[in-house]
Structure 1
Amino acid sequence: TDLGAIVRSLVDLGIGVHPAFVTNGAPRGEILVGKYLASSAAGGSAVIGGPQPRTSVNYDTAKQLCTQKGDNWHLMSIHEWAAIALWSFANGTVPRGNTNYGRSHEAKWETARRADNGLPGDTSGTGRTDTGKGPATWNHDHTEFGVCDLVGNVWEWIDQMKLDDGQILTTLDNNPAVAEANWHRHPAYFDSTSDNQSGAGSNGSPVLSNSVTKRNGPADDDSHDYPHMLNPHFAAITKSDGYTPNELLRRLLIESATTTTVGGGLWCRNYGDRFPLRGGNWGNGSGAGLGALGLNNARSYSHSSIGFRPAFFV
């Protein structure tokens, strides 16, 4: 699949094949992405509609549950997520989802059954919904055949990207075989406007920069004991004067040349190793979205609001 025509219709994303469809420099024709979030049946990573998504697993467990399904199975990558998001944006089918405790915060009549059988919109209890049981507008193409629950419901662990003390690392194309130690270090960092290291609240919006000048916790510290940064729209963060725009990061929806793009907030810590979550959860409201990117958490973190999605190379 060549996303060139779609990419050319967007702003500053270049031309040609999206990196989701390139592995080790060679183009591939097809990727199968789980229509549903992983659930606990059939070895712990089934892709079926109806059950609750599997949650409370950390990054490494999510990755292992996908790869142990067999050859060519892998945890959905930063490349694959962005390709689907850009397709939806280009085709006018950006999905809504469970962003308000069992309903869409944008269209409150759009609902699905909650894990606790609670009322849509009731902020008590667990507002997670069954996989694929929302309306078609919660799917990436607004049809019953689309990829479900990308926006809201639960955050999704994503592979082939991380922050290392604020520096952005990714694979250069969609290749889960590349060892983490060999991921590319981009000359791109999330800097802070404050060097405050007290408390665990927000220190304001991150800044895309060519270096870190202010760090909100000790370098190499993977804890969650110090402040984080937040901007309610990932595309609205400031870029420092010395920052060089990065086309690959734009293609991966980590950077943006315009705020006229998919929505979703950006959370990050620029100390320690941080692994990506995308999409948002049931309580994030407008902070959820195809552009939502959580870079707050260490690889060992798990929570009932975090799941994952397998993908497969044909």
Structure 2
Amino acid sequence: MSIEQKIAELQQVSAEQTTASQAVVQEVSGKMAAIDKKTNDSIAKVESTYDQKANGLTIIATDSYRKAVEHNSGGRNTVIYDAQGNPNIMCVIPRFNIEDLGLTALDLGTGVHPAFVTNGAPRGEILVGKYLASSPAGGSAVIGGPQPRNTVNYDTAKQLCTQKGDNWHLMSIHEWAAIALWSLANGTVPRGNTNCGRSHEAKWETARRADNGLPGDTSGTGRTDTGKGPATWNHDHTEFGICDLVGNVWEWIDQMKLDDGQILTTLDNNPAVAEANWHRHPAYFDSTSDNHSGAGNNGSPVLSDSVTKRNGPADDDSNDYPYMDNPHFAAITKSAGYTPNELLRRLLIESATTATVVGSILCRNYGDRFPLRGGGFRDGSSAGLGTISLGSSRSHSMSGFGFRPAFFV
């Protein structure tokens, strides 16, 4: 055999070995791919099963918590989880007729209170935060024990409520008034933290202060933890009522404002109505003086059909000019041309008598002013279910300003 023949034979053998090796590689690769696929499928199945079981356990846990709260409260409290996953303990407020309250001296008319009506359609109940909003990660929550969220302006308070998801909203002027009137009718008007960790009316009623200070000590921070006060600080004087409506921190309220002294509200409890479309009532807070000097108290406001004396420039949202004040919102006078307004009486902005819930009124009849109700921990007898401050612009923020979410079912 020649050298050329041997070389050709070796090349043939090498080619056959290469082909065989490639076949083995392909066979092994195919088997490895099949093994990888089975492994990946098994891992995915295990992960899917784990996720399903974890989600199921979460649903069971949260549902059990809600059922426990409802069972222990006889259905008067429930738990709603928001879009951030935070729990919110809510008080269930059933619809009532105004005439059934028996508050005839207040001249409130008849029919369903507007808190239970949205765009003309009645609701069977509303859910209102049992506690002031606090500050968990990612938003706000309504739970007992922590300090209330504070140092928020109107827009922030409203946004923190709406970002909780569908049907969430900042507590409205309608909801506040309905609860206050119900408490008055039932003889359960609450006290609260109105004297630096205690009630100014019943000084033995106390709760833990933010600074752990002594009740009544005017130094330091006298805010109390949410829901830590006695049952007499709740709207129904039971442990299942709405806590801390009076005192502690002022609460931003939605669906009402002053525009250069004119009163604007929604006509019923409808947070979907744009602010630009709120109803302009023929009702104004007038002043007895046109003084623009300083930023002090310029006397009591007057309910009127127009503003004849303004204490600051129109459209000026600053606090650089005088304000008006009266220790009892129901005691302010009405001008000769003013026409009494039933809806404003139902909202505890106007009153037919001083025999109603107590509380002061403060207002400025220049610029846009948004309501805060209830009073703060230093406000003593000025705080109350009837208390309303209409002196702050939407951007005003203080450590004494908080808020309370509400929910539609």
The bucket for the TM-score relative to the shorter chain is over 0.9
Runs of 4+ more than 2 Å apart: 2-11
> Does 2:190 correspond to 1:95?
yes
Structure 1: any 5+ residue segments left out of the alignment?
A: none
- Choose which of 179, 194, 197 in structure 1 pairs with 2:292: 197
Among 120, 129, 150, the alignment partner of 1:34 is: 129
More helix by share: 2
Q: Which has the higher contact order (CA 8 A, sep 6+)?
A: 1
Once the 2 structures are TM-superposed, how far is the Cα of residue 30 of structure 1 from its aligned partner? 1.1
Q: Determine if contact 1:7/1:15 at 8 Å carries over to the other structure.
A: no
Distance in 2 of aligned mates of 1:239 and 1:153 = 31
Say how many residue pairs are matched: 314
1:1-314 aligned at under 5 Å gives the runs: 1-10=95-104, 11-314=106-409
Shift of 1:7: 4.2
1:44-99 per-position Cα deviation (integer Å, ceiling 9, x unaligned): 31000000000001000000000000000000000000000000000000000000
- Report the AA paired with residue 52 of structure 1: Q
Unaligned stretches of 5+ residues in structure 2? 1-94
- Identity of aligned pairs, percent? 86
In the aligned structure 2, how far is the partner of 1:234 from the partner of 1:6?
A: 24
Deviation (angstroms), 1:42: 4.5
The answer on whether the counterparts of 1:8 and 1:14 sit within 8 Å (CA) in structure 2 is no
Local SS of the residue matching 1:64: helix
1:8 Cα deviation after fit:
4.4
Return the alpha-carbon distance in structure 1 between the equivalents of residues 394 and 221 of structure 2. Answer: 24
SS at match of 1:214: coil
Deviation per residue, 1:268-309 (Å, 9 max, x gap):
000000000000000000100000000000000000001000
TM-score with structure 1 length normalisation? Answer: 0.99
Amino acid at match of 2:177: A
Q: For the residues of structure 1 that align with 2:150 and 2:372, how far apart are their CA atoms?
A: 13
Q: Deviations over 1:19-49 (max 9, x none)?
A: 0000001101111000000000143310000
Deviations 1:100-132 (A, max 9, x none): 000000000000000111100001111110000
Provide the rounded CA distance (Å) in 1 between the counterparts of 2:99 and 2:165: 33
Aligned letter for 2:157? Answer: A
- What is the SS of the residue equivalent to 2:321? coil
Residues 38 and 54 of structure 1 are in contact (CA less than 8 Å); yes or no, is this contact kept in structure 2? yes
The amino acid that maps onto 1:189 is Y
Q: Is the 8 A contact 1:150 1:290 kept in 2?
A: yes
Deviations 1:193-248 (A, max 9, x none): 01000100000000000000000000000001000000000000000011000000
The 1-side partners of 2:207 and 2:155 are apart by: 30
Contact (CA 8 Å) 1:38, 1:44: kept in 2 or not? no
* TM-score, normalised with respect to structure 2: 0.76
Residues 163-220 of structure 1, C-alpha deviation per residue, up to 9 Å, x if partnerless? 0000000000000000000000000000000100010000000000000000000000
Task: Tell which structure's C-alpha radius of gyration is larger.
Answer: 2
> In the alignment, is the contact (CA less than 8 A) between 1:7 and 1:16 conserved in 2?
no
In terms of mean alpha carbon deviation, does 154-163 or 7-16 score higher? Answer: 7-16
Structure 1 position 9, deviation (Å): 3.1
